[in-house]
Amino acid sequence: MEKIKQMRDAFDVILKYDPDVRILIEPKPNEPIDRSYSGTCGHALAMAAETCDPSRVGVCIESAHSIMAGLDPAADMAFAIAWGKLWGVHLNDQNGIRYDQDKTFGAENLRGAFNQVKVLYENNFGDKGECVGLDVKSMRTQSADDCYRHIINSKRVFELLLEKAKKFDYKFQAECVKEQNFEKLEMYVLELLLGVN
């Protein structure tokens, strides 16, 4: 409990020092240690609410960190957006709850990546100066000549999925929901991602 309050107190010092500064908390459930004081978006927003100026404390959701916590990054992003607190995202991918892998965006779960892009697009993320970042790293065995391929690939996947999000048929979605036909909607999304629609 003492360490959590010390973190809040440190944020307060920063907020009082500069009235124009904003703080983004990037939740991370583990690494470099196996415990975290702000492991999820919910923890970060609770911490923000306890500072001297909650209006200047928001979150930066990293895809891999949400996955490492066993959560859905798109749901984390939507949760923060609902409260006007998603001020940055770091898109990447992750295979399970292991160490922070920082894989190319969409490399492990293309549907999950699409859901993230879609929630950002639907909510006009970026219109208020929010930032989409790509937090990825090259494979350790990769040659120096190709060291930026991971970020180039992540950017390309984001752009392709953004085009898919822009084509999404919300009228069709509403019809499926009204009919309670979620298999039909699921297949529509899969075909959209596979280039059938």
CATH of residue 42: 3.20.20.150
Model pLDDT, residue 140: 73
Report which secondary-structure segment, H or E, holds 86.
strand 86-91
Residue range 117-138: mean pLDDT, rounded: 93
Question: Which amino acid belongs to residue 67?
Answer: I
The pLDDT tens digits of the residues spanning 10-27 come to 999 999 999 999 999 999
Please say whether the beta carbons of 163 and 195 come within 8 A: no
Q: Specify if 127 maps to a domain.
A: yes
Number of domains making up the chain: 1
Q: Let me know if residue 39 belongs to a domain.
A: yes
Question: At CB < 8 A and 24+ separation, what contacts does 181-190 make?
Answer: 189/111, 189/114, 190/111
For residues 90-108, average pLDDT: 92
- The whole-number pLDDT of residue 161 equals 98
Q: Is 75 contained in some domain?
A: yes
Provide DSSP, 93-122: B-STTSS---BPTTSS-HHHHHHHHHHHHH
The pLDDT value recorded for residue 145 is 79
Task: Report, as an integer, the average pLDDT of 142-162.
Answer: 90
Does residue 1 carry a pLDDT above 80? Answer: no
Q: Residue 96 has what pLDDT? A: 87
Whether the pLDDT of residue 197 is over 80: the answer is: no
State the CB neighbour count (10 A cutoff) for residue 13.
Answer: 9
16 found inside a domain: yes
Q: Which domain holds residue 84?
A: 2-166
Q: Do the domain assignments include residue 85?
A: yes
Residue 188 maps to a domain: no
Q: Is residue 181 part of a domain?
A: no
Tell me, yes or no, whether 177 lies in a domain.
no
Specify the pTM.
Answer: 0.93
pLDDT number for residue 146: 82
DSSP string covering 126-157, please? TTTS-EEEE-----TT--GGGTTHHHHHHHHH
